[in-house]
Amino acid sequence: MNLRDFSLMLMVCLLWAMHTVVSKLVVTGMEIPPLFYAATRYGIVALLAMPWLLPIPRPTWRILLVGFLMGGGGFALFFLGIKSASPSSAAVVTQLGLPITTLLSVVMLGERIYWRRGLGIGLTFVGGVLVMWNPDSGLPISSGLVLILGSAAAGSLAAVMMKQIDGVQPLRFQAWIGLASVVPLALLTASFETDQIPRALEAGWAFLSALLFSALIVSLLAHTVYYGLIGKYPANLIAPLTIMNPLMTVAMGILVTGDRFDARMALGTGIALCGVLIITLRRNQVMPLAALVWDRLR
């Protein structure tokens, strides 16, 4: 990979890491309702990407389901989870999307797993459980991180289903993610949340800046650049580089939001990322799309 493209990859991972921390600040520091945050984000994405909506990918039901799972559905769970989870732990648990995607590809795409990737899957799950384990509370597993895991699983299912859709360009895909997400999320926030507008107005320019960063810089810019790199280089070269994302997120979480990073977290993170690296270095069918899922949360 040339220096320019490596710098772009570094920028993308940095933007994804920043987005995780910004999301934490929005739903906790600004107290913006998570579903409202997700709905407004995808409203902006749908509006800006609308010129690329047509032609409609076929079958329509599949692109709508994939769009919701990878977009609004996954992000709704993520924003709900990040309210109580730390950015650093969320970044590690999100990596479980990779082994989940790999296992789903066996069932839905007929992919075969050999012992090396099996070892990687096992290590990733062991590391993820160590990070999710919460010995200081009444529950053995952090409820916020369970929602983060649900978000990763939704994105994993979407990645495998997207493998069955041909010829969807990146901006067209973003347009359908926005369209498939904004209406369900608007209904959910109207039904289950209150004081959305007053809290947004109270947060003012800080919330608007975070919202535009999430919709424009992360959803449209970072993901489009990443798609371009995936198209230019082999997936097994790109995917291991995405490990920079959780490492950057852990560092930012410690520095910005004061995340606790003890020996248990360090051990779990190390084991999980070793597992991720083993999986990404093995040839498989879903790597290009799956990589986008577990590092989009980003």
Q: Which amino acid does the sequence have at 199?
A: R
For residue 162, what pLDDT is reported? 75
Strands (E), 47-205: none
Give the per-residue pLDDT at 107: 79
Contact 272, 128 (CB under 8 A): yes
Cβ distance 272 to 97 under 8 Å? no
Give the pLDDT score at 290.
47
**Residue-level pLDDT at 42:** 87
Chain mean pLDDT for the chain: 82
Q: Which of 64, 58, 63, 93 is nearest to 77 (CA)?
A: 93
213 and 37 Cβ atoms separated by less than 8 Å = no
Determine the pLDDT at residue 291: 47
pTM over the 0.85 mark: no
**Residues 6 or more apart whose Cβ sits within 8 Å of residue 288:** 230, 235, 238
Q: Answer whether 243's CB lies under 8 Å from 277's CB.
A: yes
Which pLDDT score, from 0 to 100, does residue 281 have? 72
Give the percent of the chain with pLDDT over 90.
Answer: 19
Profile the chain (298 residues) by mean pLDDT over runs of 10 residues: 88 90 92 92 86 80 85 86 88 83 78 79 84 64 83 83 70 82 91 92 93 86 79 71 84 88 85 82 54 44
Gap between the Cα atoms of 92 and 90, Å rounded: 5
238: part of which helix (H) or strand (E)? helix 235-241
pLDDT score at 35: 92
Cα separation of 78 and 72, whole Å? 10
CA distance 179 to 190: 18
